[in-house]
């Protein structure tokens, strides 16, 4: 095939659809984004196809899509998404029918894991566990230099492990999932609790005196300015994050854990307490090589870059 071959990578998130045209070496050649019509599956599908049409040119030989939820990677169907109105959506077939270009679909965090492993914080390792911490928690596993998808593509849906039975309700229908106690959603919820208890706090002030208006972003901003209550919230959420990571390190034995997603942008305010809790929780910490817990490097680009390069490597050869 020609050296000029490229692929589209489309990352369909809860608020934004990110579309990139990507070269084989991971270079982003063009990027576009549109808001996700999250309430209507058909509109979201149309928006995704329109974005692909806009980005495609004669060099594009494959399209990779990353979508949040249970993605049947064998069939190219999004089966279920806790935070989108999409159910049983044959994304790969719809895109291939519309553009005449082969398409494959993966879970968004699986695609992001591939992006970080090929071009970001996971480079040079054979075994990597990625956890994306945003509003929810996603995961991705590279085992022996391959993306581990499981039997259907459902692997690494780590956010929905129940860690607090009877805890806060989750979009998946359960209570006390990891993503409800160790994510941006948890930071916001704890921030509102603190603002209710401390009406004169920085957090309550940032929310204009309305505790119910406190968001996770406000908590992170207050913590960055040295506010002790906000720093305490990030430490608590970081602790829950580190405990969960210890469980997955026990299960997977990776060489490195990469933490991505918007919450990871709080840096050591969340990663330092996560590392402490991890060391305290992982099995036999004194008898195993240390496992670095590091921040992701590609930010919001990881999913689209990973989806595109997976598609190039698996469909475009
Ligand atoms: Zn859940």
* DSSP labels, 7-72: EEEEEE-SSEEEEEEEETTS-EEEEEEEE--TT-HHHHHHHHHHHHHHH--TTEEEEEEEESSEEE
Whole-number Å distance, alpha carbon 175 to ligand 1 midpoint, is 7
**Pair of tokens at residue 10:** 């489309």
Backbone φ and ψ for 256, nearest 5 degrees, come out as -150, 150
- Asked if residue 263 has pLDDT above 60, the reply is yes
Whole-number Å distance, alpha carbon 26 to ligand 1 midpoint, is 33
d(CA 76, CA 68) in angstroms, rounded, equals 13
Whole-number Å distance, alpha carbon 197 to ligand 1 midpoint, is 28
Which pLDDT band holds residue 317 (cuts at 50, 70, 90)? low
Distances (CA, A) of 270 to 220, 234, 235, 267, 293: 9, 5, 6, 6, 11
Whole-number Å distance, alpha carbon 160 to ligand 1 midpoint, is 4
Mean pLDDT for the stretch of residues 69-96:
92
Whole-number Å distance, alpha carbon 4 to ligand 1 midpoint, is 42
Whole-number Å distance, alpha carbon 3 to ligand 1 midpoint, is 43
Count of beta carbons in the 10 Å neighbourhood of residue 151: 9
- Asked if residue 264 has pLDDT above 70, the reply is yes
Count of beta carbons in the 10 Å neighbourhood of residue 123: 12
Whole-number Å distance, alpha carbon 161 to ligand 1 midpoint, is 7
Whole-number Å distance, alpha carbon 148 to ligand 1 midpoint, is 21
Whole-number Å distance, alpha carbon 57 to ligand 1 midpoint, is 39
34-73 pLDDT, tens per residue? 999 888 889 999 999 999 999 999 999 999 999 999 999 9
7-38 pLDDT, tens per residue? 999 999 888 999 999 999 999 999 999 999 88
E strand or H helix that includes residue 223: helix 216-224
Whole-number Å distance, alpha carbon 98 to ligand 1 midpoint, is 34
Whole-number Å distance, alpha carbon 159 to ligand 1 midpoint, is 6
Among 74-78, 262-266, 300-304, the least confident range: 262-266
Tell me which residue of 10, 5, 102 sits closest to 49, measured CA to CA.
10
What's the helix, strand, coil split of the chain in %, to 5? 45, 25, 35
Count of beta carbons in the 10 Å neighbourhood of residue 20: 25
Token pair 């309550």 in the structure block, residue? 204
**The pLDDT of residue 39:** 84
**The pLDDT of residue 156:** 96
Whole-number Å distance, alpha carbon 52 to ligand 1 midpoint, is 31
Whole-number Å distance, alpha carbon 170 to ligand 1 midpoint, is 5
d(CA 317, CA 311) in angstroms, rounded, equals 9
Whole-number Å distance, alpha carbon 176 to ligand 1 midpoint, is 7
Distances (CA, A) of 142 to 74, 115, 136, 146, 258: 18, 11, 21, 5, 11
Residue ranges with strand state E in the chain: 6-12, 16-23, 28-35, 60-67, 70-72, 77-80, 87-89, 103-107, 128-133, 137-143, 146-147, 256-260, 293-295
Whole-number Å distance, alpha carbon 168 to ligand 1 midpoint, is 10
Whole-number Å distance, alpha carbon 163 to ligand 1 midpoint, is 10
Angle formed at CA 262 by CA 198 and CA 35, multiple of 5 degrees: 110
Whole-number Å distance, alpha carbon 31 to ligand 1 midpoint, is 32
Whole-number Å distance, alpha carbon 90 to ligand 1 midpoint, is 23
Tell me which residue of 145, 113, 115, 144 sits closest to 257, measured CA to CA.
113
């Amino acid at each position: 095939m020609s050296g000029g071959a490229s692929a589209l990578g489309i990352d369909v998130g809860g608020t934004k659809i990110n579309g990139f045209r990507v070269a084989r070496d991971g270079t982003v050649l063009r990027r576009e984004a549109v808001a996700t019509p999250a309430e209507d599956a058909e509109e979201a599908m149309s928006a995704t196809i329109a974005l692909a049409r806009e980005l495609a040119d004669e060099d594009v030989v494959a399209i990779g899509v990353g979508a949040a939820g249970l993605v049947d990677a064998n069939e190219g169907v999004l089966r279920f998404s806790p935070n989108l109105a999409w159910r049983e959506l044959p994304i790969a077939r719809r895109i291939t029918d519309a553009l005449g270009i082969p398409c494959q679909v993966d879970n968004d965090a699986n695609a992001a894991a591939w992006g970080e492993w090929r071009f970001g914080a996971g480079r040079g390792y054979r075994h990597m566990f990625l956890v994306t911490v945003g509003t929810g928690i996603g995961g991705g596993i590279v085992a022996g230099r391959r993306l581990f998808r499981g039997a259907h593509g459902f692997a690494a849906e780590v956010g929905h492990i129940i860690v607090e039975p009877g805890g806060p309700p989750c979009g998946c229908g359960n209570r006390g999932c990891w993503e409800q106690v160790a994510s941006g959603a948890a930071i916001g919820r704890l921030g509102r609790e603190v603002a209710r208890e401390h009406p004169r706090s920085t957090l309550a002030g940032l929310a204009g005196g309305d505790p119910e208006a406190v968001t996770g972003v406000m908590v992170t901003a207050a913590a960055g300015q040295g506010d002790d209550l906000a720093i305490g919230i990030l430490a608590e959420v970081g602790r829950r994050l580190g405990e969960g990571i210890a469980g997955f390190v026990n299960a997977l034995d990776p060489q490195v854990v990469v933490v991505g997603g918007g919450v990871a942008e709080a840096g050591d305010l969340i990663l330092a307490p996560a590392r402490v809790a991890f060391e305290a929780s992982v099995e036999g910490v004194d008898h195993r090589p240390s496992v670095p817990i590091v921040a992701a490097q590609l930010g919001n680009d990881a999913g689209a870059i990973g989806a595109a390069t997976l598609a190039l490597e698996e469909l475009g050869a």
